[in-house]
Amino acid sequence: MGVVTFISNLIIPILIFYVIGYGLINKVDIFDAFISGAADGFKVVINILPTLIGLMMAIGLLRASGVLETLGNILSVYMEHLDFPAELVPLSLIKMFSSSAATGLLTDIYKNFGTDSRTGFMASLIMCCSETIFYTISVYFMATGDKEHKPVTGMRWMLTGALVCTFAGMAACVIITSFLKIT
């Protein structure tokens, strides 16, 4: 375990020195390249900020209004047949929009059920095997500004693939916890 910790502590400094060394060997003005990249990154942040604010407000409203809990209660009948705890439905839905909001729900699940429980273990797996689909897609299309290549068509296939992968990950969570017989 000590070797893994030692290597993981060295990876970032080694990467930084590699980039600087590569720039020096190729006679690149490293500081100017850094400033240019930071300026481009700042422009991207400015472009996607309205999307981020809208997503955060929508998630806050959903969470505060109780819609997620109501949806979880409605779907609990179907989820029990699939061996998927109803308490994880809000987490599964929120994770598709915001990882930070899902982390808040994850903390609540840990407090209520414990980290070693089946529900806590499945919640951890869901957080690991799913992505913030709608956030990522909206940020991507806002950042690229791709209007010529019909982003709706590209988004449709991207969204379909992402949803299939997310549901496959959730199915894997159920299979893994059933296989490991976590109670």
Structural domain for 157, as ranges: 47-180
Cα–Cα separations (whole angstroms), residue 150 to 109, 133, 155: 40, 19, 9
Residue 14 included in any domain: no
Residue in the structure block whose two tokens are 């100017």? 32
Residue 134 included in any domain: yes
Residue 52 included in any domain: yes
Overall pTM > 0.85 = no
Residue 124 included in any domain: yes
Q: What is the mean pLDDT of residues 88-105?
A: 85
| Helix/strand/coil for 66 | coil
Residue 25 included in any domain: no
Tell me how many domains the chain contains. Answer: 1
Residue 77 included in any domain: yes
Span 102-138, pLDDT tens digits: 888 899 899 999 988 989 999 999 998 888 888 787 7
Confidence of residue 153 (pLDDT cuts 50, 70, 90): low
Confidence at residue 150, expressed as pLDDT on a 0 to 100 scale: 56
